[in-house]
Structure 1
Amino acid sequence: MNALAAGVLFTVMLPASADDTRNLYQVQCASCHGEDRLGGIGPALLPGNLSRLKPEAAEAVIRYGRAASQMPAFGEQLDDSQIRSLAEWIYRAPEVEPTWGRDDILASHEVSHPDGSLPDELLFDADPLNLFIVVETGDHHASLLDGDTFERIHRFETRYALHGGPKYTPDGRHVFFGSRDGWITKYDIYNMEVVAEVRAGINMRNIAVSADGRYVMAANYLPHSLVLFDAHNLDLMKVYPAVGENGESSRVSAVYAAPPRGSFIAALKDIEEVWEIPWPLPIEPVVSTGHMATPLATQRSHDTPNFRVRRIPVPDYLDDFFFDLEYEHVIGASRGGDSDGQGGMVVNLDSGDKVADLPLEGMPHLGSGITWEHEGRRVMATPHLTKATVSIIDMTDWTVIETLETDGPGFFMRSHANSPYVWVDVFFGPNRDRVHVIDKKSLAIVETLIPEPGKTAAHVEFDRYGDKLLLSLWEEDGAVIVYDGDTLEEEQRIPMSKPSGKYNVWNKTRYEEGTSH
């Protein structure tokens, strides 16, 4: 919000109606957040974009401002009634649903350094494949960490409310960030510079990068669309309205890259379809050195032309995904199937047939699932968002072989091929300061750590070797804690502002089995 207009400080009388509140917004807020609340210098102020911010917290931001941002305090200009009316008004759905089409996307596009214009050498001394990007949501920054020394190489400002995790190019040089407000930022890690930005939508869920690093796709809640970009400078290639064969429009829950298939896979929230969109296959396949059972696709199991949608009808709405190693099957969270309206379903992506139902009560967070080898069989594990359990599933016959009781519902799971342990947080509820350590062989919880009593402990990420790991104290005055992966001993703390995700270049580009994708 902006209290200055043409150099004059405005004092506004108590609004008595929605019209007065709308006028108050236009005077105090529109210059930063946009006349239609779609964002500008500041973030979009629409209900979907504010889902992480409670109304009472919004009042506090208006009254006191936001540290380390351009948001000023209005407590001395506006009285309590005005602040309450503004906070209430921004949570109302707009009278006319906003649009964001091709012309809007093109107009938002900015190229700071055309791809290839910056030097190819690193400006710092570190292993480029053992770097971490740490997203700090407290003040909307990201930190670049050396994964060998855990020294902070650089800290830089990001867009508001990054969402869905940054994605790397295969060589690890470039990283793409996606924000809740729809902004995609391409960042050159070697030179620590922004290359290009573009706004793909108003409320974006996540982005995916093709396995060859040539294409970026964005999944939007608002508008209902998928948007394809050339990864070099984020030039717009195609907008896909998310409309089913029956004409019904849908929010897009997420989009994923499926390297062995050479395609993007999209989860649709409001229609019973999964979409697959192939990208052009390279003449010479890029071979992964990670756990993937199949290198990048050199031929497809279907004949869908490049960048064309292949619709896969499914028996239920699937809006949270996990894949097997070969990307032959998608495991999706479905709305039906058990007493709380949530379950799991396995669908073969080639035939479109349902292979199995999974009795997963309590909203399984499949997007955070991981796999490992157990007694000669591949298993997957997932936490649950509303139930204090971890489910472990045999991926050979899709049976639940173990259900572990935890100290509360969890959000993230992580491991590494070289680690004997799986880590899962207790993100929701009174025990959010705890994290469980599960033994991969016994499938039992063998340790429960409390890094800082009363402070949320969440989201583990290992280094490229599986020797060390990072855990977040998810607080405004938080930290990233470095642990020894074998002894589970704390080694050091790096102060950070509400660090959320931590993303290791090797694990993400090599599709390490202990890291979700």
Structure 2
Amino acid sequence: MKRRPLLLGLAALPLLASGCATLQQPDAPLVGTGDLGLVVERATGSVLLVNTTHRSILARVDGLGDLSHASLVFSRDGRHAYVFGRDGALTRIDLLTRRITAREQQAGNSIGGAISADGTLVAAQNYTPGGVKVFDADTLALRADIPALTADGQRSRVVGLVDLPGRRFIYSLFDADAICIADCTDPARPRVTRIDGIGHQPYDALVTPNGRHYIAGLFGEDGLALVDTWAEQPVARRILAGYGRGQQPLPVFKMPHLRGWAVAGRHAYLPAIGRHEVLVVDTTTWEEVGRIPVAGQPVFVMARPDGRQVWVNFAVPDYHRVQVIDTVAQRVAATLQPGKAVMHMEFTPRGESVWISCRDDDKVVVLDTASLATQASLPARAPSGIFFTARAQRMGF
């Protein structure tokens, strides 16, 4: 009567024994990826693997080439990072084995990319030659090469590439004043929808958390271009016209990055080009509802995950400052000076801490977002971008 349960138990023993052997290997401790992240060391072509729970450095991975404008995305399970180098290289890093597992010199100049919602495709946006290349996430084999062309057939630089639901990507053409949506359901035959006449020189873009609205900033004129990707036939419409340099021309020392935008409740907080202001926008009407004066020209405007705060860093000569906006009071609540040349900020998944890269001080500072007290200071070689694996679960990141 007890023979069948006994046989089932004996059949399971090899699996259990094998599992126990793996668990007991001293040189391969089990770790989760949910509290891991990478810090770009732009001057040395390396990244630091960090643990956000223990605020510690676990390893350094070298051999990544030119990281002067590097960004990265994570696989769905958070195990792999795909690093887009300025020199056009695409590199995959295994966060658990802490080593490079694949590398492809896919272009001459690249400024970022995205991963598809299903995690199977990685797309790179390229300056030289202008276009988008799509790769298999497992092998980095080329699956699609989509040129970006101007009206006279010249190559255009690609910016603002983000993922959309499905195996789709949306991006902007800086030299062609256009936005394109590439459906890569079948990567061998991508279907591209092109929207022309969006405004002059889109320089960066973002997608709302639900994937519906894509917004491209325009360097060549005041305003932004908005596309409703849920529309049967998407078109671009102008929003926030006349907000920026047309009112008070100022030199632009560093282009803001819309990818680090902030959504808190029904409001979006956007950097104003060439102005010492953060724009407050109603996300139901996409109209400006306020402006918050800040210490300089904002570069990244980023919301704490709960939306209670918005953190801002700045271009030169104010790039030693960080300001914290209270989203209830709609004003700056604190001004901090964490170090020289603040490049980037990244919140821990639930926002109790923020990590700040201070390039010219060769350090990363970790602050408590409630008390603003310093929790840690970690050495890093000219750090810039900071990326945590929680991004794997967010659209457009």
TM-score (norm 1): 0.65
Aligned to 1:207: 113
Q: How does 1:271-350 map to 2 (within 5 A)?
A: 271-280=176-185, 307-317=190-200, 318-335=202-219, 341-349=221-229, 350=231
Aligned to 1:265: 170
- Determine the C-alpha separation between the residues in 2 that align with 1:353 and 1:266: 14
- Quick check: 1:187–1:194 contact (8 Å CA) kept in 2? yes
Q: Look up the equivalent residue of 1:439 and give its one-letter code.
A: D
- Quick check: 1:126–1:146 contact (8 Å CA) kept in 2? no
Aligned to 2:9: none
Alpha-carbon spacing, 1:424–1:335, altered in 2? closer, same or farther (3 Å): closer
Report the CA distance between 1:419 and its aligned residue: 5.6
- Determine the C-alpha separation between the residues in 2 that align with 1:482 and 1:125: 25
Report the CA distance between 1:244 and its aligned residue: 4.7
Q: Which residue of 152, 157, 161 maps to 1:255? A: 161
Report the CA distance between 1:182 and its aligned residue: 0.4
- Quick check: 2:240–2:287 contact (8 Å CA) kept in 1? yes
- Determine the C-alpha separation between the residues in 2 that align with 1:319 and 1:409: 16
Aligned to 1:451: 338
Q: How does 1:82-231 map to 2 (within 5 A)?
A: 123-157=28-62, 158-161=64-67, 163-231=69-137
- Determine the C-alpha separation between the residues in 1 that align with 2:129 and 2:343: 31
Q: Look up the equivalent residue of 1:367 and give its one-letter code.
A: R
**Superposed CA offset, 1:45-76 (max 9, x none):** xxxxxxxxxxxxxxxxxxxxxxxxxxxxxxxx
- Quick check: 1:463–1:504 contact (8 Å CA) kept in 2? yes
Aligned to 1:391: 279
- Determine the C-alpha separation between the residues in 2 that align with 1:163 and 1:428: 17
1:354 aligns with 2:242: no
Aligned to 1:407: 295
- Determine the C-alpha separation between the residues in 2 that align with 1:206 and 1:399: 29
Alpha-carbon spacing, 1:332–1:201, altered in 2? closer, same or farther (3 Å): same
Q: Look up the equivalent residue of 1:231 and give its one-letter code.
A: A
- Determine the C-alpha separation between the residues in 1 that align with 2:332 and 2:77: 36
Q: Look up the equivalent residue of 2:130 and give its one-letter code.
A: H
Report the CA distance between 1:395 and its aligned residue: 1.0
1:470 aligns with 2:358: no
**Superposed CA offset, 1:114-162 (max 9, x none):** xxxxx99994454311111111113221111111101111111122225
Aligned to 2:319: 432
Which shows bigger deviation, 123-132 or 492-501? Answer: 123-132
Aligned to 1:240: 146
Aligned to 1:372: 264
1:441 aligns with 2:328: yes
- Quick check: 2:303–2:311 contact (8 Å CA) kept in 1? yes
- Determine the C-alpha separation between the residues in 1 that align with 2:194 and 2:37: 36
Report the CA distance between 1:261 and its aligned residue: 4.7
- Quick check: 1:424–1:435 contact (8 Å CA) kept in 2? yes
Report the CA distance between 1:272 and its aligned residue: 3.1
**Superposed CA offset, 1:366-405 (max 9, x none):** 23312110xxxx2111223522111111111111112111
- Quick check: 1:435–1:458 contact (8 Å CA) kept in 2? no
SS at match of 1:220: strand
**Structure 1 stretches of 4+ moved >6 Å:** 119-122
Aligned to 2:392: 509
- Determine the C-alpha separation between the residues in 2 that align with 1:397 and 1:261: 26
SS at match of 2:299: coil
- Quick check: 2:43–2:67 contact (8 Å CA) kept in 1? no
- Determine the C-alpha separation between the residues in 2 that align with 1:500 and 1:245: 36
- Quick check: 1:135–1:502 contact (8 Å CA) kept in 2? yes
**CA RMSD across the alignment:** 2.5
Alpha-carbon spacing, 1:135–1:147, altered in 2? closer, same or farther (3 Å): same
- Quick check: 1:347–1:356 contact (8 Å CA) kept in 2? no
Alpha-carbon spacing, 1:267–1:123, altered in 2? closer, same or farther (3 Å): farther
- Determine the C-alpha separation between the residues in 2 that align with 1:162 and 1:469: 22
Alpha-carbon spacing, 1:243–1:419, altered in 2? closer, same or farther (3 Å): closer
Q: Look up the equivalent residue of 2:336 and give its one-letter code.
A: L
Aligned to 1:69: none
Q: Look up the equivalent residue of 2:352 and give its one-letter code.
A: D
TM-score (norm 2): 0.84
- Determine the C-alpha separation between the residues in 1 that align with 2:179 and 2:307: 34
Report the CA distance between 1:249 and its aligned residue: 3.2
- Determine the C-alpha separation between the residues in 2 that align with 1:125 and 1:465: 23
Identity %: 26
Q: How many residue pairs were aligned?
A: 360
Aligned to 2:375: 491
Unaligned runs of 5+ in 1: 1-118, 282-303
Structure with the greater relative contact order (CA < 8 A, sep ≥ 6): 1 or 2? 2
Q: Look up the equivalent residue of 1:191 and give its one-letter code.
A: T
Structure richer in strand, relative to its length: 2
- Determine the C-alpha separation between the residues in 1 that align with 2:47 and 2:198: 40
Q: Look up the equivalent residue of 2:224 and give its one-letter code.
A: G
- Determine the C-alpha separation between the residues in 1 that align with 2:383 and 2:211: 31
